[in-house]
C-alpha cells in the first residue's frame, strides 16, 4: 500500500474553485473560479497559471476538439478562443429564468457537453429551490433539456461502459444514477446510489476512476469520498485541510493524481484564519487507482 499524500499545489485562491479538467496534450489543469468569473490553466511543470476573465459567473469550461473551450457561463453555452480570449455565444438557455446560472458540466464519451443550472445564491447553498435544469449541448450545437426541478445541478460522470450516467443535485444529499443511451444522449430510470451521512456535508463535483468507482468532493465536508456505485458502499474517505472542497478530477501522467478544488466564498474571518488554504487546489497522490482520459466537446 502506498501512503496517501495531500498537497496544496495551486496557492492562488479561488472564491469558488471548480470544474478541474486534465488536458493531456498540454499536461495542464483547466479549472474555473465560478463567482470570480475566471478560467485558469495551470502548468504543473512550470507552476505558471494562465487566466482569462469571463463576463458572467462561469460554471464549467471543457476542451473542444477543434480547439479552444466551451463554457457554461451565466445562462449561455459559449465558445472560447484562448488565444484571442474571445467569447462567442453558442446558445442561450433558461430564458424564463434570468437569475439562473450554469454550474457543473462535463463532456460525455460521445463528445456532447452535459451541464446544469441553479438559481443565484443568497449565500452558499441558500437559494430559491427547484429553479435549475439539466441540459445537453449536442455536437450539432442543438440543446436538449433533460429535466427541471433541480436545486443545485452539480457533479456528473459516466460509467466505463457508457451505459450509466451518475449525477448530483446537491441538496438531495445523494448521488444518483440514470440509464444512459450513448447513441442519443437520452436519460432514463433515475435512482439513488448513495446517500451522504450528516458529517459528510453537501455532495458537489465528482469523477469516475478506472475501476468504475466514484470520487465525490463534499462541500462543507472537507473531504473526498470514494464510493462504489454498484453496492452503495463508501470505500474510503480522504480528508483535506479545507472545508469547502468542491470538485475533483484525475490528472498528471497516467492520470494517477487526484486534483481537488476548493472555495472560500461564504467564510468569515475566523474560518479563513483557521483554513488559510481555502480556495487553493490540492493534489492527492498514493490512492492506488487512476482516472480515465478527459473527453473533449466534439462539435
Ligand atoms: C456551486 C456553489 C454552491 C456549492 C454547494 C457549487 O457547485 O457552484 O455555488 O454553493 O456547489 O452546493
Ligand atoms: Ca460544483
pLDDT digits (tens, 9 = 90+) for 84-134: 999 999 999 999 999 999 999 999 999 999 999 999 999 999 999 999 999
Q: Is the CB of 124 under 6 A from ligand 1?
A: yes
Rounded to the nearest integer, the mean pLDDT of the chain is 97
State if residue 10 touches ligand 1 by the CB under 6 angstroms criterion: no
Give the C-alpha separation, 233 to 148, whole Å. 29
Q: Is residue 297 part of a domain?
A: no
| Closest-lying ligand 1 atom to the alpha carbon of residue 220 | 5
Domain count within the chain = 1
* Residue 244 is assigned to a structural domain of this protein: yes
Give the distance (Å) from ligand 1 centre to CA of residue 46: 30
Checking if the pLDDT of 185 tops 90, the result is: yes
Q: What is the pLDDT, as a whole number, of residue 2?
A: 66
298 lies in some domain: no
Residue 204 falls in the annotated catalytic set:
yes
Nearest CA to ligand 1 atom 2: 124
- Give the mutation target among 153, 154, 173, 205 for probing the ligand 1 site: most ligand atoms within 8 A of CB: 154
Q: Is the CB of 58 under 6 A from ligand 1?
A: no
What's this model's pTM, rounded to 2 decimal places? 0.98
Atom 1, ligand 1: residue with shortest CA distance: 103
Structural domain span for residue 31: 5-285
Q: Domain with 222 in it: what CATH number?
A: 2.120.10.30
Percent of the chain with pLDDT over 70: 99
Identify the nearest ligand to the CA of 206 by its number: 2
Distance in Å, CA 38 to ligand 2 centroid: 15
Q: Which residue's CA lies nearest to atom 12 of ligand 1?
A: 125
What's the 132 CA to ligand 2 centre distance in angstroms? 13
Is the pLDDT score of 1 beyond 70?
A: no
Residue nearest (by alpha carbon) to ligand 1 atom 11: 204
290 assigned to some structural domain: no
- What are the start-end ranges of the H helices in the chain? 269-274
Q: Domain for residue 296, yes or no?
A: no
- Residue 170 Cβ contacting ligand 1 at under 6 Å: yes
| 220 alpha carbon, closest ligand | 1
Residue 72: inside a domain: yes
Task: Give yes or no for residue 32 CB within 6 A of ligand 1.
Answer: no
Which pLDDT score, from 0 to 100, does residue 257 have? 98
- What 277-280 contacts at long range (C-beta under 8 Å, 24+ apart), as own/partner pairs, is 277/8, 277/11, 277/241, 277/242, 278/13, 278/242, 278/243, 278/244, 279/13, 279/14, 279/15, 279/17, 279/242, 280/8, 280/9, 280/10, 280/11, 280/12, 280/13, 280/14, 280/17, 280/242
In a domain, 36, yes or no: yes
pLDDT, position 148: 98
Amino acid at each position: 500500500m502506498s501512503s496517501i499524500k495531500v498537497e496544496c499545489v495551486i496557492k492562488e485562491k479561488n472564491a469558488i474553485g471548480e470544474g478541474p479538467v486534465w488536458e493531456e496534450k498540454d499536461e495542464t489543469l483547466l479549472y474555473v473560479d465560478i463567482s470570480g468569473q475566471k478560467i485558469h490553466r495551470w502548468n504543473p511543470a512550470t507552476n505558471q497559471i494562465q487566466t482569462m476573465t469571463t463576463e458572467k459567473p462561469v460554471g464549467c469550461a471543457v476542451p473542444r476538439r477543434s480547439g479552444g473551450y466551451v463554457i457554461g457561463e451565466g445562462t449561455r453555452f459559449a465558445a472560447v478562443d484562448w488565444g484571442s480570449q474571445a467569447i462567442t455565444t453558442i446558445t442561450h438557455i433558461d430564458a424564463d429564468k434570468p437569475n439562473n446560472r450554469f454550474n457543473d458540466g462535463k463532456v460525455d464519451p460521445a463528445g456532447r457537453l452535459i451541464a446544469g443550472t441553479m438559481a443565484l445564491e443568497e449565500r452558499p447553498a441558500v437559494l430559491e429551490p427547484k429553479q435549475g435544469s439539466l441540459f445537453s449541448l449536442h455536437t450539432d450545437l442543438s440543446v436538449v433539456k433533460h429535466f427541471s426541478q433541480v436545486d443545485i445541478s452539480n457533479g456528473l460522470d459516466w460509467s466505463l461502459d457508457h451505459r450509466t450516467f451518475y449525477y448530483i443535485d446537491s441538496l438531495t444529499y445523494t448521488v444518483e444514477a440514470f440509464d444512459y443511451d450513448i447513441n442519443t444522449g437520452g436519460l432514463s430510470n433515475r435512482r439513488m446510489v448513495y446517500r451522504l451521512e450528516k458529517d459528510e456535508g453537501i455532495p458537489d463535483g465528482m469523477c469516475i476512476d478506472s475501476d468504475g468507482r466514484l470520487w465525490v468532493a463534499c462541500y462543507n465536508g472537507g473531504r473526498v469520498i470514494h464510493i462504489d456505485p454498484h453496492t452503495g458502499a463508501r470505500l474510503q474517505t480522504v480528508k483535506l485541510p479545507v472545508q469547502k472542497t468542491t470538485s475533483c478530477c484525475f490528472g498528471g501522467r497516467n492520470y494517477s493524481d487526484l486534483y481537488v478544488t476548493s472555495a472560500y466564498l461564504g467564510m468569515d474571518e475566523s474560518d479563513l484564519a483557521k483554513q488559510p488554504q481555502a480556495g487553493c487546489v490540492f493534489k492527492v497522490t498514493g490512492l492506488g487507482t487512476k482516472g480515465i482520459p478527459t473527453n473533449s466537446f466534439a462539435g
